[in-house]
């Protein structure tokens, strides 16, 4: 459901303007899930609308043992499946992690999604409907949750599906529909440089996260094939472009792989790389202890991660270790792989 679908309904059924407002209110304020739920419409009108309200349908939903992570397997209109996650990283602060593709083409060695291969892009509506899905779930379950943040860190590389992702960002920030503040939205990329610059020009208030994971071309290309067309110097120039044109914090994602990129020498290389940015004080490093998949990597011990972070901080950089939520339901970063699909 989005503004375009509502406009299509209004036009198809020759409805007056106030009906459009009723539909907008029903789906984006009251979080109705079907047209039958829209009681401001007459029963005959509800019955006559033969368009589905949503492009995603729940197939399975898992809840973590701690109750602060929910993962949904949802089916699209063509039968393809994706996963989306609802998280509570801090009490009362809820975020949803949404997918932008069925599968992924990037083939990062540590990511379970990349092992699925790439099937197709999602449409803008399929992307934003994941946010509606979680709003409707919160309402239906009576959860004491206020969904405040949206992160494009689910299945797929958002900038590989640039046109649909950009359209979905406009919809999420549309005051008539989702009305989510730009600074409450984050987009993560593996480093598609041209799209980073376009994103900066069009969405300067939306957060950008860059998946780095190594600070030398040799190691990064081993972990992330995208480094071949867009090596570290080109990527740093794109990150500088974002920071220079937005004057906003840039998030650098760094997954901690035991014995591969987590040693003091790796931390020193990362310090050198970030210090080479035009405005390194605006870079914040999110250290992510690897979440187990079938990819053959191992997670860094927490003590190693803390020592790595200490080196960054001792050199004046901003850094934190991200709390991993939803591991027990394979809903943490890098784990979305449609396991146990039904």
Sketch the domain layout of the chain as residue ranges.
1-52, 54-329
Catalytic status, residue 333:
yes
Model pLDDT, residue 336:
53
In the set 97, 108, 111, 333, the catalytic residue is: 333
Model pLDDT, residue 287:
97
Among 218, 45, 33, CA closest to 138: 33
**Local confidence pLDDT in tens for the 342 residues of the chain:** 999 999 999 998 899 999 999 999 999 999 999 998 998 988 888 888 877 889 999 999 999 888 889 999 999 999 999 999 999 888 888 999 999 999 999 999 998 888 889 999 999 999 999 999 999 999 999 888 889 899 999 999 999 999 999 999 999 999 999 999 999 999 999 999 999 999 999 999 999 999 999 999 999 999 999 999 999 999 999 999 999 999 999 999 999 999 999 999 999 999 999 999 999 999 999 999 998 777 788 999 999 999 999 999 999 999 999 887 665 566 555 445 555 554
Model pLDDT, residue 335:
47
SS3 64: coil
1-52 and 54-329, same CATH topology: no
DSSP code, position 161: G
Measure Cα distances from 139 to 123, 143, 149 in Å: 25, 7, 17
Burial of residue 32 (number of CB atoms within 10 Å: 0-12, 13-18, 19+): buried
Model pLDDT, residue 66:
86
Catalytic status, residue 253:
no
In the set 30, 66, 83, 253, the catalytic residue is: 83
Model pLDDT, residue 18:
93
pTM to 2 decimal places: 0.92
Model pLDDT, residue 342:
44
Q: Which residue has the tokens 């760094």?
A: 254
What class has domain 54-329?
alpha beta
Pick the CATH number of 1-52 from 3.90.25, 1.20.1740, 4.10.240, 1.10.150: 1.10.150
Taking the C-alpha atoms of residue 134 and residue 156, their distance in angstroms, rounded to an integer, is 19
The whole-angstrom distance between residue 11's C-alpha and the CA centroid of its chain comes to 33
Among 149, 104, 97, 99, CA closest to 123: 99
Model pLDDT, residue 174:
97
Model pLDDT, residue 338:
57
Model pLDDT, residue 92:
80
């Amino acid at each position: 459901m989005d503004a375009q679908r509502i406009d299509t309904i209004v036009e198809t059924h020759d409805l007056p303007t106030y009906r459009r407002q009723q539909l907008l209110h029903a789906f984006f304020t009251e979080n109705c899930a079907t047209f039958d739920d829209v009681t401001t419409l007459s029963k005959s009108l509800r019955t006559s609308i033969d368009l589905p309200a949503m492009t995603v349908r729940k197939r399975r939903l898992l809840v973590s043992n701690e109750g602060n992570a929910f993962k949904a397997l949802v089916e699209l209109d063509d039968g393809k499946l994706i996963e989306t996650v609802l998280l509570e990283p801090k009490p009362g602060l809820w975020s949803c992690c949404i997918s932008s593709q069925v599968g992924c083409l990037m083939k990062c060695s540590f990511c379970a999604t990349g092992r699925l291969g790439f099937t197709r892009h999602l449409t803008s509506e399929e992307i934003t409907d994941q946010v509606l899905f979680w709003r409707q779930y919160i309402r239906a379950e009576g959860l004491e949750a206020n969904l405040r943040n949206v992160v494009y860190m689910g299945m797929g590389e958002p900038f590989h599906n640039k046109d649909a992702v950009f359209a979905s960002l406009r919809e999420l920030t549309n005051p008539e529909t989702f009305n989510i503040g730009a600074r409450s939205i984050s987009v993560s990329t593996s480093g598609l440089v041209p799209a980073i610059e376009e994103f900066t020009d069009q969405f300067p208030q939306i957060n950008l996260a860059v998946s780095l994971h190594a600070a030398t071309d040799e190691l990064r290309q081993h972990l992330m094939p995208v480094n071949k067309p867009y090596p570290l110097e080109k990527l740093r120039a794109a990150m500088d472009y974002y920071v220079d044109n937005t004057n906003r914090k840039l998030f650098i994602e760094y997954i901690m792989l035991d014995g591969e990129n987590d040693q003091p020498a790796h931390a020193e290389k990362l310090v050198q790389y970030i210090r080479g940015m035009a405005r390194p004080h605006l870079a914040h490093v999110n250290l992510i202890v690897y979440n187990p998949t079938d990819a053959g990597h191992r997670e860094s011990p927490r003590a190693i991660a803390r020592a790595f972070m200490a080196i960054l901080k001792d050199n004046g950089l901003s850094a934190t270790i991200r709390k991993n939520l939803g591991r027990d339901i394979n809903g943490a970063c890098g784990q979305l792989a449609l396991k146990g699909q039904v």
